Structures are given as C-alpha cells and as structure tokens.
Structure 1
Amino acid sequence: MLEVSLNIALIVMSMSILVCFIRIVKGPTMSDRIVALDTIGITLIGVIGIIMVIQNTLAYAEVILVIAILAFIGTIALAKFIEGGVIFDRDRN
C-alpha cells in the first residue's frame, strides 16, 4: 500500500513540475517565473526524497542538500537582479 501511495505522489509531483515549467515559459511577469522556478526546486527535492524512501537508501541525501542550496542562491540572485538590475555591487573608489 505504501508503494502505491508513493508512486501516486511521484505522479502528482511530476505533474506539478510540468505545470510550473509551463508557468516559467508563459509567465506574465518575471516574478511569476522566479516563483515557478523556486517551486520546481522544492518539488524536485520532494521527488528525490520519495525516491529515497522507495529505494530504502540515504544515497541521495547530498543531492537534496546541493539542490536546496542552489535553489536558494538562485532565488536570491534573481530577486536581487529584479530589484536593482545588478547582482554584484562593485563600488570603485
């Protein structure tokens, strides 16, 4: 029963990633695209977590950590780019 529930969860999360990808392509604003990209990262972490439970292993724990860090840094960088247009501030004196 658990196996069936996990497979259903994987299917639903895959559809969620597809819907978010459509939002990235067609999003009316840049903010919508950034939120959809962040949602894909979070959903991908959940998918990998479910795969870890199905395979009964901890082999992908580092992958989850790397994806989480990259998603966070990417979201912060894109938000800063939207706010000011520049990611790295270079003050030249």
Structure 2
Amino acid sequence: MLTVAVYIALGSLTLALTLCLIRLMRGPDPADRVLAFDTLYINTIALLIVLDIYLSTSIFFEAAVLIALTGFVATASLARFLARGKVME
C-alpha cells in the first residue's frame, strides 16, 4: 500500500515540477518567475523526501535540507532585488 502512495506522490510531484518549469519560462513578469522558482525548489524538496521514504536512506533528506537553505536565500535575494533594485546596501 505504501508503494502505491509513493507512486502517486511521485507522479503528482513530477506534474507540479513540470508546471512550475513552464511558469518559470513563460512568466509574464519577474515576480511570477520568482514565485515559480520558489515553488520549484519546494517541490524538489518534497520529491527528495518521497524518494528518501521509498528508498529508505537518509542521504536525500540531507540534500533536501541543503536545497531548502539555498532556495530560501535565493528567493529572499531575488525578492529584495525586485523590490529595491539592489541586493546589498
């Protein structure tokens, strides 16, 4: 029963990643692209956690934590750049 749930989760996350990539490429303005990037890295984290559960390892969890840290910093920097025009003052 767990494998069926994992396959459904993997399919759903793959669809979500595909839709986020489309929005990232076709976004009408930069704010939409930043939001798509934010959603993309969150979906990637979820995909890695599901793979970690399926394969019963812990290496994907560590990779998910690293992606979460770098993704947060990148999203905050991009949002600040869009709001003010520069990242550092």
Tell me, yes or no, whether TM beats 0.5: yes
Q: Which residue of 2 aligns with 1:53?
A: 53
Name the amino acid aligned to 1:83: A
- Structure 1 gaps, min length 5: none
Greater per-residue helix proportion: 2
Q: Which residue of 2 aligns with 1:43?
A: 43
Q: Which residue of 2 aligns with 1:86?
A: 86
**1:5-46 alpha-carbon deviations (Å, 9 max, x no partner):** 101110110110110110011111111111110001000000
Name the amino acid aligned to 2:76: I
Q: Which residue of 1 aligns with 2:7?
A: 7
RMSD across aligned positions (CA): 0.8
How far does residue 76 in structure 1 lie from its aligned partner after superposition?
A: 0.4
TM-score with structure 2 length normalisation?
0.95
Name which one, 1 or 2, has greater alpha-carbon Rg: 1
How far does residue 69 in structure 1 lie from its aligned partner after superposition?
A: 0.4
Q: Which residue of 1 aligns with 2:23?
A: 23
The sequence identity of aligned pairs, in percent, is 31
Name the amino acid aligned to 1:21: L
TM-score with structure 1 length normalisation?
0.91
Runs of 4+ more than 3 Å apart: none
